[in-house]
A and B are shown apart, each in its own frame.
Chain A
Amino acid sequence: MKKLFLSLEALSLKRRIFVAFSLISLLPLLVIGFYLAYKNLPSYTYLILGINILLGWWIIIQILNSITSIVKKTRKNLSLLGEVKPPEDEVKLLDEVFDKMTVKIKKSFQELKEISKTTEKLNEEVSKKIALLSALLQINDLVSQDTDIKEVFRLIVRRIKSILNFDFTFVLLDLEKEFFSLEAIEPSQNIKFKTLSKHESFLKPLLEKGEVILLDRNNSCRELENFSKDILGVNNLVFLPIFLKREIVGILGAGVKGLEFSFSEEELDVLRAFSKHITFIIEHQRISERIKDLEIKDPLTGLYNAKFAKERLDEEIKRAIVNQRPCGFILIKIKNFKDYIDKRGILALESALKKIANIMRDNLEVGQKPVRISEDSLGIIAPEKSKAQLEKQGSGLLSKVKQEVLAEELDLAFSVAENPLDGTSAEELINKASSI
């Protein structure tokens, strides 16, 4: 039925009017013409003629019903569009309906456009948030892999620049008492500053109250403007404090060249997120360093690590000097370390190192400590041992190692050094033993 009101073609009005006209006028005229010509008509002809005329009228009534229905429907639509005034005639009514509908459609298009713009903005925000999240994850990955902190800062400034589309991003850290020093900047070409004095007047609110310093269309500061234009060549600048345990340890900065620019709250939020992340990175690095300082064992072999070896050997040497005794150091070196890895692989080498470490542990004398001083060198700190005694012990140890650990492929050598003959510090003894 809906189709009926949409098109006159669909309604078949022309065909129906033609059929009705034929039934009402053409057919009776033909019958009259036939009668006048022949003066004779069968009686049922009148009956058929009557039925045809009735049928024609029925079709006309149907057409009128259809038109009435269109008018009714249009009225209904008009009232739906908010028009309460009754129409003067049907054509006017249709015109009015079409006008109203056109306006409504235009409005709908406008609304659709607005929605599409809002959606675009939302999409932009979402993709910024995703980019921020992915940057933070990437940074976390680097931090957990113990990547150099400067490398991490370089990634941070690169990512901030690309996410926020800024012209400059940089990280300054409080490594000196009087200065912040530049740790990372993007882009890194033609940089005119490496440090920033803490006595710069524009830094006062940041250093004293931890406030964000802004220079843009809505915020001005002459001193900062000079720095911004002369040093960075930008018109807009933001400085955010980097806190560590409530102390300001650095600055996260960003600059934009445009004249009529102002930093949005969303952009500042992104910068705040990165600033907090930098705090986390610095804290993580400090804790890692502290843990490394506390570690005394080599994770692979379980022997004491190089740092412990040096400290312990120095202590033993001091004790030896006080007690007028010797203190020795035996070094076992894998001479073909790299070739062995190339030939047998890192796993075979690690397994060999573990075996050597076990043999060393099993052959220690009282007071001796087994150590790993570098990737290819293991050793024994041997207090109160003279050089002759050390050579005897080292030679015995080496032959045991060679018997038990892939002697045919590992090229092992040992050397000894003794305090006081070869030096009075751990470094001197280790260097002496390594040089032999």
Chain B
Amino acid sequence: MKYFKKRIDKPLGELLIEKGIINRAQVKKALKVQKERGGLIGEIIVSLGFAKEEDIAHVLSLQYGFPYLPLENYDISKELVKIIPKQVALQYRLIPIDKIGSTLTIAMANPLNSQAIEDVEYISNSEVQIFVATASDIKKAIERCYAENS
């Protein structure tokens, strides 16, 4: 697994407060919602309208050192998406973007999901390199690429 080492050891909420994107009350509210419904804190903050997806992606990039990749105009090979089944891509919010040798590069909304990375390594039999992207960009890319594929 070739992903970048964590640079700042702080939770996402704290980083967003530090950056002045959200306040402490909003973090508390988001944590409450997470406790009730489950889900990822970043996605909940976005769904509550406290921050934009791009803000989350930038903060994650800053916090963990993953490079940010806007997928909007990125061309993904049809052959490449065959490596990861659609249900896996949808559940883990990730999409393969490149493969060189035994290294598979993927873009994912939550680069901290180590089990997702493990699973991708398991099914692709490759080492994984990670880029961070917004959840909606990934969703759109999945719809675009897998629809074309089918």
Contact = CB atoms under 8 A, between A and B. Distances in A.
Contact of A418 (B39, B40, B119): B119
Interface stretch (B25-33, B47-55, B83-91, B142-150): B83-91
Interface stretch (A129-137, A253-261, A264-272, A314-322): A314-322
B85 A323 contact: no
A421 B85 CA distance: 8
Interface string A306-331: 00000000000001111111100000
Given A419-B91, A420-B85, A420-B88, A322 B119 contact: no
Contact of B87 (A325, A384, A420): A420
Nearest to A320: B91
Secondary structure type dominating chain B contacts? helix
Contacts of A424: 87, 91
Given A386-B122, A388-B122, A324 B116 contact: yes
Contact of A323 (B39, B118, B123): B39
B85 A386 contact: no
A9 to B, nearest CB: 118
A317 B119 CA distance: 15
Nearest to A321: B91
Contacts of B91: 320-321, 324, 419-420, 424
A324 B118 contact: no
Categorize the interface residue count of chain A: 20 to 34
Interface in B100-142: 110, 113, 115-116, 118-119, 122-123
Contacts of B88: 420-421
Contacts of A420: 85, 87-88, 90-92, 119
Nearest to A319: B38
**Most central of B88, B91, B93, B116 by chain A CB within 10 Å:** B91
Contacts of B40: 323-324
Interface string A344-386: 0000000000000000000000000000000000000000111
Interface of B: 37-40, 85, 87-88, 90-93, 110, 113, 115-116, 118-119, 122-123
22 contacts: A319-B38, A320-B91, A321-B91, A322-B37, A323-B38, A323-B40, A324-B40, A324-B91, A324-B92, A324-B110, A325-B115, A326-B116, A386-B115, A386-B118, A386-B122, A387-B119, A420-B85, A420-B88, A420-B91, A420-B92, A421-B88, A421-B119
Interface of A: 319-326, 384-389, 418-421, 423-424
